[in-house]
Structure 1
């Protein structure tokens, strides 16, 4: 397993060593032990440019996933999972919307991007959206247990799983 992490934003300090350990644990939990993954942390202007260029949406977003295990380049390296780009600014701003700490929100959006690279797609169907949300919550709870992101009293409530 290889994980490349780069922090291009300057506004918020990040503990890249801790992030690498969390991501490694997430990948292991997903059964993705022999993959290569890149993570880039950026600010809002940088992610807005990527969003405009690749998804034709001219606004900042929390995370963008660039999968490499599908499409014409998938034959180049079967172990290359892909890259995710996370806007730390947007993640921290949206933390309040999800009733999460900043660290939890950043982790949630990393998980969301990794799940996209692993084949989950909440835009394909309501059922897949529920499955993806369930898996996000499951992984976030696991990370909270192993790498406390806030006081132990404030762990996400248990999820009963996807329905339908």
Structure 2
């Protein structure tokens, strides 16, 4: 299966192959090159429903992860990591507020979502938050280095 991407935010042209390559870079950095995941790119309306139904939280959010490597039957499909859902509406607003590109913010959210699939959690403790933050920066550096092409002009 590999990396499956569904784009429900059709008014946004997205480079799905580039997103797939970025997700693979993240999996490689996490020493799980054969990991399988699905990515749903959606809007605030849909992610708000997921946030309410699955996390019992109000309003839209930027990213939600649904890990498959937890629970009683996780050993049945050891490479099936889970699902990541990203709201492009929220990502766009956050990118504008942070004065970064939408691609940069999307990559941050993709890393964040995939780290949750690997059990990283920023809400349990300050130490866990620091661990996740450190890993995020490490992987974002790998993504930037991997996408650098010396033949291109900055």
User: Hey, what does 2:86 align to over in structure 1?
Assistant: 86
Q: Which runs of 5+ in 1 are unaligned?
A: 153-164
Alpha-carbon distance, 1:123 to partner: 0.7
**Within 5 Å, which residues of 2 pair with 1:147-158?**
147=147, 152=154
User: Hey, what does 2:95 align to over in structure 1?
Assistant: 95
**Within 5 Å, which residues of 2 pair with 1:134-153?**
134-147=134-147, 152=154
**Within 5 Å, which residues of 2 pair with 1:45-124?**
45-124=45-124
Taking the aligned partners of 1:125 and 1:98, their CA distance within structure 2 comes to 25
Taking the aligned partners of 2:135 and 2:100, their CA distance within structure 1 comes to 17
Q: Which runs of 5+ in 2 are unaligned?
A: none
Taking the aligned partners of 1:8 and 1:99, their CA distance within structure 2 comes to 25
Taking the aligned partners of 2:95 and 2:114, their CA distance within structure 1 comes to 19
Taking the aligned partners of 2:68 and 2:12, their CA distance within structure 1 comes to 29
* Structure with bigger RCO (C-alpha 8 Å, 6+ apart): 2
* 1:62-95 Cα distance to aligned partner (Å, 9 max, x none): 0000000001341431211000000011111111
Alpha-carbon distance, 1:125 to partner: 0.8
Count of paired positions: 150
Instruction: Summarize the Cα distance change of 1:92–1:43 in structure 2 as closer, same or farther, 3 Å threshold.
Output: same
Instruction: Summarize the Cα distance change of 1:58–1:73 in structure 2 as closer, same or farther, 3 Å threshold.
Output: farther
Taking the aligned partners of 2:12 and 2:55, their CA distance within structure 1 comes to 26
Alpha-carbon distance, 1:28 to partner: 0.5
CA RMSD of aligned residues (A): 1.6
User: Is 1:20 matched up with 2:54?
Assistant: no
* 1:23-49 Cα distance to aligned partner (Å, 9 max, x none): 111100110122211101001101001
TM-score normalised over the length of structure 1 = 0.85
**Higher mean C-alpha deviation, range 21-30 or range 97-106:** 97-106
- More helix per residue: 1 or 2? 2
Taking the aligned partners of 1:95 and 1:102, their CA distance within structure 2 comes to 5
Alpha-carbon distance, 1:140 to partner: 1.2
